[in-house]
Structure 1
Amino acid sequence: MNNSLKYPQEHLLVYLKRGSCIESVHRVHAVVCDNKGRNLMAAGEANLETFIRSSLKPFQAIPFLSSGAAEQINAGDSGIAISTSSHEGSTLHAREVFKLLWKSKIDVTALQCPIPNSATSALQHNCSGKHAAFLATCKKMDWPIETYLLGNHPLQIEITRLVSDLLRLPAEELVAARDDCGAPTLLLRLSQMAFLFAHLGGSKHAELEQISRSMLAYPNLVAGEKRFDTKLMKNSHGQLLSKGGAEGIQCLSRVGEGIGLAIKVEDGSKRAKQAVALHLLRQLDWITPGRLEELEEETLLLAPGLQLEVQGSLQFQENKI
């Protein structure tokens, strides 16, 4: 590979170096948006369209609260946190998901997320908390249980309506597709993802405020002790919300300020999105340097002789989304 390989500097670039030589390159897009829908800073294509994947989960949890289902079963902050999670399938996580179903008087067999390889129950699937909250909401609203993942189901229609309201656009403009767990996910512009997370971290929306509080109260349930989202929320001392998605999606929010950050790695690399997230947090000064260094040491551990290097920065924008 040509070790002088470069892309236009408006994109963020992550280089994997073996010794002093470049072995792989990841091209990354990122945008910062406020809760009025304004693009504040960007690198690459702010309006790049891609699927939000699991970063949608905090917003898919809204009907769980607004329907009264969470209150009815006394889900508490832990139950709300697991409903937003992409967890590691540990006993802790599976038990919390089971509690949502048990309190709702719903059998585990109603879960339609897959049983992971080397697992024995759908409770261990990383999306099981979202599915359990879906089912609890359907039970409370007397909606069909068996078809809760279909796009024309009342629950999925309500989720689309809520997201469209937050984005201030007609629901029919949103494009949905099946995610790996079977639930719908949405095709959005990167700037729209940042806009959603600006709402999550600094919204007057009652349910989103409760969801963000629950995620911060139980970061271990949102991902897992050794996972990026959990580490970031714990190390920020309640200042940051973090929710990643597959294929190089990472979304964050600065709590109390109504500002969201969305990241997309073109080739879907997890290591690249995490490296870029930490790189941009340093630029934005959203976390103390000491905590950031700890996260870099814990998160970006590579084999001896390998290192990740991020080039580029966010640039101020004038356009609105």
Structure 2
Amino acid sequence: MINHSSSDFASNPFTVTVSRGPIIESRHQVIAVISDAKGKLVRSWGDVRNAVYLRSAIKPLQAIPLVETGAADALDVTEQELSLACASHNGEVAHVDAVSEWLKRIGLGINDLECGTHWPKYEAAALELAGAGLAPSAAHNNCSGKHSGFLSTAVYMKENTQGYIHLDHPVQQRIVKVLEDFTDLDLSRAPIGTDGCSIPTIAIPLDKAALAMARFADPSKLEAGRASACHRIQTAVAKFPHMIAGTDRLCTALDGAAHGKVIAKVGAEAVYLAALPELGLGIALKALDGADRAAEVALGALLEDLGVVTEDIHKSADPYFHPILRNRNDIVVGRLEAVFD
């Protein structure tokens, strides 16, 4: 359990420590917040009202227009593909094949993806591809599922499929509207950067990100079509967790083992967002130094304190929540843990 100070709203970040032998070798500072769907902050650490880029952690919200416009039903988007639309995937064969088939079904191809190309994130998949003398395509990009969802919406709405990555395209404008609705913010003057896959990434205060995830977790106060979209996305991720990340990834391990109790998504630079449907809560956190290992440990600590970590989750996610450091001879040399003032 987290040892809280007298106030539930601590002003300082908490720390994820890295120990080697008898001493702490490194420290990562983490800002985090837990919110309900009305915007009440349950707990908070650090300056969570400062805006951060949420990066790929926001993908479950970016997938909402795919469903609520009617595109998913009209284009026969499967639950597997809906999970893939929320993914930062490994570029494994299952991911690449699914993207290729999805695009083919809607009359497009891999060349229509504007996410760019990189080698698979999963080493075994990259080695297999290189061993076959092949080069990666845009379908191997970890965001290709999300972009397939964008293209599907554009096709259904009879919009130009070229340039869908730009802020002024209707695809991106629908996403901005979703984010504004879920955060209660006017984002017209928010700082905007360019994400790794070339779409806009909008800076949002961490407390508002947690609010957005709480509303995604508990959409009962939302319009019926939007609430249905949230439920469908949650169900798809829980049923097909491999599609949202892949082998040896926390998102897949956690979302699969949670059976719908937790929908968690990582973003670049050590951001994590999570929705807890049964509790109606949202979690948003960021390791300030961008270390993913710290963000994973921090997420585990918050989930454990909220009492949602079941035995199944422990079995699947503890290697990420409570990592043991081993050297090249497989000797245990250290560990990571969250430390709260």
Structure 2 unpaired stretches of 5+: 1-9, 120-125, 127-134, 221-226, 327-331
Q: 2:59, 2:86 within 8 Å by CA — same for their partners in 1?
A: yes
* Aligned equivalents of 1:163, 1:9: Cα separation in 2: 26
* Aligned equivalents of 1:290, 1:184: Cα separation in 2: 36
Residues 251, 111 of structure 1: alpha-carbon distance in 2 compared, 3 angstrom cutoff: same
* Aligned equivalents of 1:92, 1:289: Cα separation in 2: 28
Q: Secondary structure at the match of 2:108?
A: coil
* Aligned equivalents of 1:128, 1:69: Cα separation in 2: 17
Deviates more, 1:44-53 or 1:27-36: 44-53
* Aligned equivalents of 2:190, 2:181: Cα separation in 1: 11
User: What is the aligned partner in structure 1 of residue 148 from structure 2?
Assistant: 132
1:248 paired with 2:270, answer: yes
State the 1:182 CA deviation: 0.5
* Aligned equivalents of 1:12, 1:217: Cα separation in 2: 33
1:11 paired with 2:33, answer: no
Deviates more, 1:166-175 or 1:193-202: 166-175
The structure 1 segments of at least 4 consecutive aligned residues displaced by more than 6 Å after TM superposition are none
Task: Write the letter of the residue equivalent to 1:307.
Answer: R
* Aligned equivalents of 2:259, 2:67: Cα separation in 1: 25
Q: 1:104, 1:139 within 8 Å by CA — same for their partners in 2?
A: yes
State the 1:111 CA deviation: 0.5
Q: Secondary structure at the match of 2:174?
A: helix
What is the CA deviation profile of residues 66-108 of structure 1, one whole-angstrom value per residue up to 9, with x for unaligned ones?
Answer: 2222111211211111001010000101111122211110121
What is the CA deviation profile of residues 146-165 of structure 1, one whole-angstrom value per residue up to 9, with x for unaligned ones?
Answer: 11011111111111012101
Q: Secondary structure at the match of 2:274?
A: strand
* Aligned equivalents of 2:161, 2:211: Cα separation in 1: 32
1:302 paired with 2:325, answer: yes
Task: Write the letter of the residue equivalent to 1:219.
Answer: P
Residues 188, 171 of structure 1: alpha-carbon distance in 2 compared, 3 angstrom cutoff: closer
User: What is the aligned partner in structure 1 of residue 300 from structure 2?
Assistant: 278
User: What is the aligned partner in structure 2 of residue 90 from structure 1?
Assistant: 92
State the 1:226 CA deviation: 1.6
Residue identity (%): 29
* Aligned equivalents of 1:209, 1:236: Cα separation in 2: 15
Task: Write the letter of the residue equivalent to 1:306.
Answer: G
User: What is the aligned partner in structure 2 of residue 67 from structure 1?
Assistant: 69
Task: Write the letter of the residue equivalent to 1:207.
Answer: A
1:262 paired with 2:284, answer: yes
Match of 1:179 among 195, 200, 222: 195
Aligned length: 306
What is the CA deviation profile of residues 240-296 of structure 1, one whole-angstrom value per residue up to 9, with x for unaligned ones?
Answer: 111010101011111233200111100010100001111111111111267436522
Deviates more, 1:102-111 or 1:286-295: 286-295
Structure 1 unpaired stretches of 5+: 1-7, 314-321
Deviates more, 1:63-72 or 1:269-278: 63-72
TM-score, with length taken from structure 1: 0.90
User: What is the aligned partner in structure 2 of residue 316 from structure 1?
Assistant: none
State the 1:10 CA deviation: 3.3
Deviates more, 1:138-147 or 1:199-208: 199-208
Q: 2:324, 2:336 within 8 Å by CA — same for their partners in 1?
A: no
State the 1:125 CA deviation: 0.7
* Aligned equivalents of 1:115, 1:242: Cα separation in 2: 25
TM-score, with length taken from structure 2: 0.85
User: What is the aligned partner in structure 2 of residue 318 from structure 1?
Assistant: none
Q: Secondary structure at the match of 1:59?
A: helix
Deviates more, 1:93-102 or 1:8-17: 8-17
1:237 paired with 2:259, answer: yes
Residues 291, 207 of structure 1: alpha-carbon distance in 2 compared, 3 angstrom cutoff: closer
Q: 1:251, 1:260 within 8 Å by CA — same for their partners in 2?
A: yes
User: What is the aligned partner in structure 2 of residue 169 from structure 1?
Assistant: 185
User: What is the aligned partner in structure 1 of residue 45 from structure 2?
Assistant: 43
User: What is the aligned partner in structure 2 of residue 292 from structure 1?
Assistant: 314
Match of 1:153 among 138, 155, 169: 169
* Aligned equivalents of 1:165, 1:241: Cα separation in 2: 20
1:194 paired with 2:206, answer: no
* Aligned equivalents of 1:310, 1:147: Cα separation in 2: 43
Task: Write the letter of the residue equivalent to 2:145.
Answer: G
* Aligned equivalents of 1:59, 1:234: Cα separation in 2: 19
- Structure-to-structure mapping, 1:216-227, within 5 angstroms: 216-227=238-249
Task: Write the letter of the residue equivalent to 2:219.
Answer: S
Residues 9, 161 of structure 1: alpha-carbon distance in 2 compared, 3 angstrom cutoff: closer
Deviates more, 1:159-168 or 1:169-178: 169-178
